[in-house]
């Protein structure tokens, strides 16, 4: 056995035993090292002004399924942009109807609108897409307005947070605040409630179903960036830090695991165990619904989610989308049985207060990479 194999096998045992090894082997936060608008890359022949690069940088910090960052932007003129959805970044196995891609586009547009506002621009969004697979999603027109007091740190410090959620119930005042941000269509089910328990069971069951689906696992593997080298090369997808695999386990995964092993039995069963723990953690579940299923409804639902997500940290509330129930045919059937026909859930989110709110870790492509 050579040194690499020795370390690999030794660490694998720790990983499989799930030993808590604290911050041993803790990585640097790659996002801190490479974050920031790449305004220096301007002069690529686009009409984008420095403020445009900055606004698009903030837009790009939006969340997306598998962190696939489905957006592209075409600059028609300095203040007219077309925001589009890139088919190479769709997730046909788990999201064949592009529902999640459009929710993510909605989150991108919400960040864009808020960042524009902070920079003294009003951004008018016109939805162009009629069908879910249309690539030109929205045209954005910017005009001079009054700069609003929107702290951009809300955008830069927002993150998905999956571990450490406390069981303390969400305060009524915080729920009301989130309802106001989403403009209605938000429901809260505490973990102890019957529906909250159903959601936890359904989330785990559908996660398990998805993890037995080879095609879905191959797709997930294609968006997994285990080594720091791949993370920095692609600046998208799911990294060990983003998956909240900390300590020695994270170090081992970054250095010794091949992405093919993501499809293997050990990884799958560890992931299912982790989710079984997560669904019991936290205050409960938040559901964001939409009145319809059209492209505009999905964009709007993504924007509503993002408005809430941008304020969650100030309330010390962690949000974790758990989407498998909305993706799997089994889960969709369960939803039809458990919900009124007029109530269309678009996000199912674990929610809970946390003691410590860690900084974001998932990477983003620089603006110059998604300008076409």
Ligand X SMILES: Cc1cc2nc3c(=O)[nH]c(=O)nc-3n(C[C@H](O)[C@H](O)[C@H](O)COP(=O)(O)O)c2cc1C
Pick between residue 160 and residue 316 the one whose CB is nearest to ligand X: 160
Do you know the residue count of the chain?
A: 372
Interacting residues of 313 by C-beta distance below 8 A, sequence separation 6+:
154, 157, 158, 159, 357
Cβ pair 228, 254 in contact under 8 A: yes
Taking the complex as a whole, the smallest distance from the CB of residue 80 to ligand X amounts, in Å, to: 26
Taking the complex as a whole, the smallest distance from the CB of residue 324 to ligand X amounts, in Å, to: 6
Q: Token match 């059209």: residue?
A: 294
Kindly state the tokens that stand for 302.
Answer: 């993504």
Taking the complex as a whole, the smallest distance from the CB of residue 337 to ligand X amounts, in Å, to: 21
Pick between residue 117 and residue 324 the one whose CB is nearest to ligand X: 324
Interacting residues of 88 by C-beta distance below 8 A, sequence separation 6+:
none
DSSP result, 55-92? HHHHHTT---GGG---EEEEEEETTEEEEEE-GGG--T
Taking the complex as a whole, the smallest distance from the CB of residue 143 to ligand X amounts, in Å, to: 28
Taking the complex as a whole, the smallest distance from the CB of residue 78 to ligand X amounts, in Å, to: 28
Kindly state the tokens that stand for 21.
Answer: 């090894």
d(CA 372, CA 80): 14
Taking the complex as a whole, the smallest distance from the CB of residue 362 to ligand X amounts, in Å, to: 4
Pick between residue 142 and residue 240 the one whose CB is nearest to ligand X: 240
**Which residue's CB comes closest to ligand X?**
63
Q: How many CB atoms lie within 10 A of CB 261?
A: 16
d(CA 251, CA 21): 11
Pick between residue 91 and residue 283 the one whose CB is nearest to ligand X: 91
Q: Token match 């300008």: residue?
A: 371
Pick between residue 55 and residue 142 the one whose CB is nearest to ligand X: 55
Pick between residue 51 and residue 364 the one whose CB is nearest to ligand X: 364
Kindly state the tokens that stand for 121.
Answer: 């621009």
- Binding stretches for ligand X (CB under 6 A): 63-65, 67, 100, 103-104, 107, 159-160, 162, 238, 242, 321-324, 360, 362
Kindly state the tokens that stand for 162.
Answer: 């999956």
Taking the complex as a whole, the smallest distance from the CB of residue 350 to ligand X amounts, in Å, to: 9
Q: What is the DSSP letter of 282?
A: S
Pick between residue 240 and residue 242 the one whose CB is nearest to ligand X: 242
């Amino acid at each position: 056995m050579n040194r690499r194999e020795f370390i690999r096998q030794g660490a694998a045992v720790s990983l499989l035993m799930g030993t808590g090894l604290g911050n041993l082997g803790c990585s640097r936060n790659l996002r801190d090292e490479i974050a920031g608008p790449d305004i220096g890359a301007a002069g690529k022949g686009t009409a984008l002004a420095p403020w445009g690069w900055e606004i698009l940088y903030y837009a790009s910090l939006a969340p997306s399924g598998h962190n696939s960052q489905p957006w592209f932007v075409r600059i028609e003129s300095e203040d007219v942009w077309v925001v589009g959805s890139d088919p190479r970044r769709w997730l046909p196995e788990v999201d064949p109807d592009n529902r999640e891609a459009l929710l993510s586009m909605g989150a991108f547009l919400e960040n864009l609108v808020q960042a524009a506002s902070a920079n003294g621009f009003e951004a008018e969004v016109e939805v162009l897409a009629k069908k879910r697979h249309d690539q030109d999603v929205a045209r954005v027109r910017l005009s001079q307005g009054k700069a609003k007091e929107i702290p951009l740190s809300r955008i830069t410090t927002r993150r998905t947070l999956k571990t450490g959620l406390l069981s303390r119930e969400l305060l009524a005042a915080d729920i009301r605040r989130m309802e106001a941000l989403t403009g209605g269509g938000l429901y809260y089910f505490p973990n102890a409630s019957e529906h909250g328990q159903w959601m936890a069971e359904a989330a785990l069951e559908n996660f398990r179903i998805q993890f037995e689906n080879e095609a879905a696992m191959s797709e997930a593997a294609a968006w997994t960036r285990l080594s720091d080298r791949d993370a920095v090369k692609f600046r998208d997808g799911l990294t060990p830090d983003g998956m909240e695999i900390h300590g020695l386990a994270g170090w081992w995964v970054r250095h010794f695991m091949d992405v093919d092993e993501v499809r293997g039995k050990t990884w799958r069963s560890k992931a299912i165990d982790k989710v079984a723990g997560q669904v019991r953690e936290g205050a409960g579940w938040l559901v964001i619904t939409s009145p319809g299923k059209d492209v505009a409804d999905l964009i709007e639902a993504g924007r509503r989610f993002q408005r809430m997500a941008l304020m969650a940290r100030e309330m010390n509330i962690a949000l974790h989308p758990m989407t498998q129930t909305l993706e799997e045919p089994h889960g969709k059937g369960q939803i039809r049985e458990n919900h009124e026909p007029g109530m269309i859930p678009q996000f199912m989110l674990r929610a809970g207060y946390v003691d410590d709110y860690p900084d974001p870790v998932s990477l983003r492509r620089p603006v110059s990479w998604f300008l076409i």
